[in-house]
Amino acid sequence: MNSLILVLSVIIIFIIAYATYGSYLCKTWGLDPKKQTPAHTMEDGVDYCPAKAPVLLGHHFASIAGAGPIVGPIQAAVFGWLPVMLWIVIGSIFVGGVHDMGALFASVRHDGKSLGEVIHSTMGDTGRKLFSWFAWLTLILVIAAFTAICAGLFVSTPAAGSTSILFIILAIAFGFFVYRKGAGLGVSTVVGVVLLFACIWLGMRFQFTAGFTKSTWVIILVAYITVASVAPVWILLQPRDYLNSFLLYAMIIGAVLGLVILHPTIEAKSFVAFNTGNMNYLFPMLFVTVACGAISGFHALVGSGTTSKQIDNEKDVKLIGYGSMLIEGVLATIAIITATYIATPELGELLSDGGPMNVFATGIGNFMQSFGIPFETGKVFTSLAISAFALTSLDTATRLGRFIFQELFDNRQSADEKANVLTNKYVSTVITAGLGGLLAVMGYAKVWPIFGSANQLLAALALLTLAAYLKKSGKSNKVAVIPTIFMFVVTFAALVLLIIQKSADFATNWILVIIAAILLVLAVVLARFGYKTLTETTEEKIKG
């Protein structure tokens, strides 16, 4: 099968789904274009501020898309590309899309509070504490997964490591000259882009190879995110994001152009086996491995908080909530194509060698070669771009994790700030990043499914909240209930399987087993809380 045909058919299916199922959701939920949105009723020019639908769709998509929808599908390709594709298509339409659109909808109807806030406020003190612990653990897993993935990439493609370091130095220097010294943005941008390519050129010549093992990179990365997450936003964040946009432009153009010119034939097997060995069963593992491309709980927390405050009209909820999830599905499809035109045995080798990012970079490198960019350059460039996004996720997760940790350990009955060292900004950052790093050393292959389970558990909770909200408002909630049950079953099964699988070698995997066990317990408790909310649908329980 030709990959271009695959992408185009996915796009057509999504357009049909958008027009049919999307509209069906609008109707059953009662989206009302005449109803005033929080962006208008609470407009303050700070958070609440109406935005044009297409622009907001862009913002929202940028918020929910990242390295996640690329890594998951490639990793899952070991089962063969067909099951992954089916899950991406069906998942995006019936689970992820419902979840994202529902989260946005519920948030718009709750004064723009994010669904995380809504879930949080429906729980009692104990539930709230558990939910915070759960969120913190999930963030640790994000840190672990992305640190491990970057470390893997930097070992397999040493040029990517040195280029990334140069890129960070460039970003800091760029920020210093533009934002502090007041050098003109136009000139600086030209200089910045030139230097960006100089980084790649230099990075390919000076590679950290000798002595730079995965563990070394994990330590370097943990040190970096610790510093980056406590530094003021303008030192690194602003210039880096600015430069990142050039990387993204170039990567998108390269990938799309290459895909069209090369339109490779899919070489990989469409289906490998239900069990790829070591108890890696297609069910439930596929459904926790491909998270962001089909459904991701983070979307409910991250996107709904800011986006819902900017929705101009309730009818935009469909485009922004449902539409952006479908676009993410297309992104996941492109990601899997980079893996599937490589034949299955080679894919396995590439995966075990440098992980899913290595596969993606190799794929895009090949695409770019089709219009004359040397393979090595294209690969290093793609590695830089994707690891730059992973690094953004890393320090954001560290920041968020630190906030939650500080909040969890602060005794609100005491005024003594120094009494509890755990609430210290630096201590909590080091603990959060350090624990992530400790897990990262185990390797991404072990961490990723647990991260996926946590993410899917979050999604299950968000769907549950949506179901409860719909029931409370007297609407049919089966569009939410069925995915809720499915997601809970998937998470429970995956966690139980992971515990059994990892317990076989308890001596090395004990941290993973413990974390999976904690997640399982939390899943049970939170599901019970959720079940209670769903059955007792009193007004104040939902509103908190």
Residues in region 238-267 near another protein by CB under 8 A: 238-239, 241-242, 244-245, 248-249
361 near 200, Cβ under 8 Å? Answer: no
Phi, psi of 342 (to 5 degrees): -90, 135
Q: What burial class does residue 230 get, using C-beta atoms within 10 Å of its C-beta: 0-12 exposed, 13-18 middle, 19+ buried?
A: middle
Least Å distance, CB 207 to another protein, is 27
- Judged by CB under 8 A, the residue of 10, 26, 56, 479 near another protein is 56
Q: Kindly state whether residue 83 participates in binding another protein, applying the rule CB under 8 A.
A: no
Q: Which is closer to another protein, CB of 158 or CB of 329?
A: 329
> Which of 209/245 has CB closer to another protein?
245
Phi/psi at 281 (5° precision): -80, 145
63 binds another protein (CB under 8 A): yes
Does 460 interact with another protein (rule: CB under 8 A)? no
Q: Provide DSSP, 98-164.
A: HHHHHHHHHHHHTTT--HHHHHHHHS-HHHHHHHHHHHHHHHHHHHHHHHHHHHHHHHHSHHHHHHH
Q: Pick the closer one to another protein by CB: 80 or 305.
A: 305
Q: Does the protein bind another protein through residue 407 (CB under 8 A)?
A: yes
Residue of 59, 263, 315, 541 interacting with another protein (CB under 8 A): 59
Q: Which of 305, 329, 365, 483 binds another protein (CB under 8 A)?
A: 305
Number of residues binding to another protein, judged by CB under 8 A: 68
Based on the shown chain and the rule CB under 8 A, indicate whether residue 40 belongs to the binding site for another protein. no
How deeply is 276 buried, as exposed, middle or buried, from its count of CB atoms within 10 A (0-12, 13-18, 19+)? middle
176 or 206: CB nearest another protein? 176
Structure tokens belonging to residue 401: 């994790």
Q: For residue 450, how far is the Cα from the chain centroid?
A: 14
* Cβ closest to another protein, residue 232 vs residue 277: 232
Tokens of 152: 């893997």
Q: Which stretch binds another protein (CB under 8 A): 30-38, 80-88, 179-187, 337-345?
A: 179-187
185 binds another protein (CB under 8 A): yes
Q: Which is nearer to another protein, 64 or 334 (CB)?
A: 64
Among 306, 377, 423, 473, binds another protein (CB under 8 A): 306
Among 11, 13, 42, 489, binds another protein (CB under 8 A): 42
Map the footprint of another protein across residues 313-372, applying CB under 8 A: none
Query: Given the complex with another protein, which of 313 and 501 has the nearer CB atom?
Result: 313
117 binds another protein (CB under 8 A): yes
CB of 478 to another protein, least distance (A): 28
C-alpha dist (Å) from residue 348 to 218, 298, 515: 23, 29, 27
Residue 378: C-alpha distances to residues 95, 204, 255, 300, 489 (Å): 35, 11, 10, 34, 41
Helices 125-156 and 214-230, packing angle to 10 deg: 130
- Closer residue to another protein (CB): 460 or 481: 460
Instruction: Verify binding: residue 179, another protein, rule CB under 8 A.
Output: yes
Q: What is residue 79's DSSP assignment? A: G
Integer Cα distance of 272 and 82 in angstroms: 9
Q: Pick from 493, 533, 416: which is nearest to 120 by CA?
A: 533
Q: Is 437 in the site for another protein (CB under 8 A)?
A: no
Helices (H) and strands (E) in the chain, counts: 23, 0
Considering only 364, 397, 454, 542, the residue that binds another protein (CB under 8 A) is 397
Q: Which of 233, 277, 418, 540 binds another protein (CB under 8 A)?
A: 233
Q: Which residues contact 255 (CB under 8 A, 6 or more apart)?
A: 334, 338, 364, 367
For the chain, what's the residue count?
544
Of 55 and 524, CB closest to another protein: 55
First to last CA, the chain: 52
Q: Are 463 and 478 in contact (CB under 8 A)?
A: no
Q: How far is the CB of 324 from another protein (least distance, A)?
A: 9
Residue 120 lies near another protein (rule: CB under 8 A): yes
**b/e for 404-441, b at 16 or more Cβ within 10 A?**
bbbeeeeeeeeeeeeeeeebeeebbbbbbbebbbebbb
227: Cβ contacts below 8 Å, ≥ 6 apart: none
Q: CB-wise, 249 or 506, nearer to another protein?
A: 249
Query: Two tokens at 19?
Result: 């027009």
Residue 318 to residues 24, 94, 152, 407, Cα–Cα distance (Å): 10, 14, 38, 35
Q: Does 8 participate in binding another protein (rule CB under 8 A)?
A: no
Closer CB to another protein, 113 or 502, in the complex: 113
Specify the stretch interacting with another protein by CB under 8 A; choose among 66-74, 95-103, 274-282, 469-477.
66-74
User: Of the listed pieces 165-173, 204-212, 290-298, 477-485, which binds another protein according to CB under 8 A?
Assistant: 290-298
Q: Does 68 bind another protein (CB under 8 A)?
A: yes
Residues that bind another protein (CB under 8 A): 42, 44, 46-47, 52-59, 61-68, 113-114, 116-117, 120-121, 128, 132, 142, 146, 175, 178-180, 182, 185, 232-234, 237-239, 241-242, 244-245, 248-249, 292, 296, 298, 301-306, 309, 389, 392-393, 396-397, 399-400, 403-404, 407
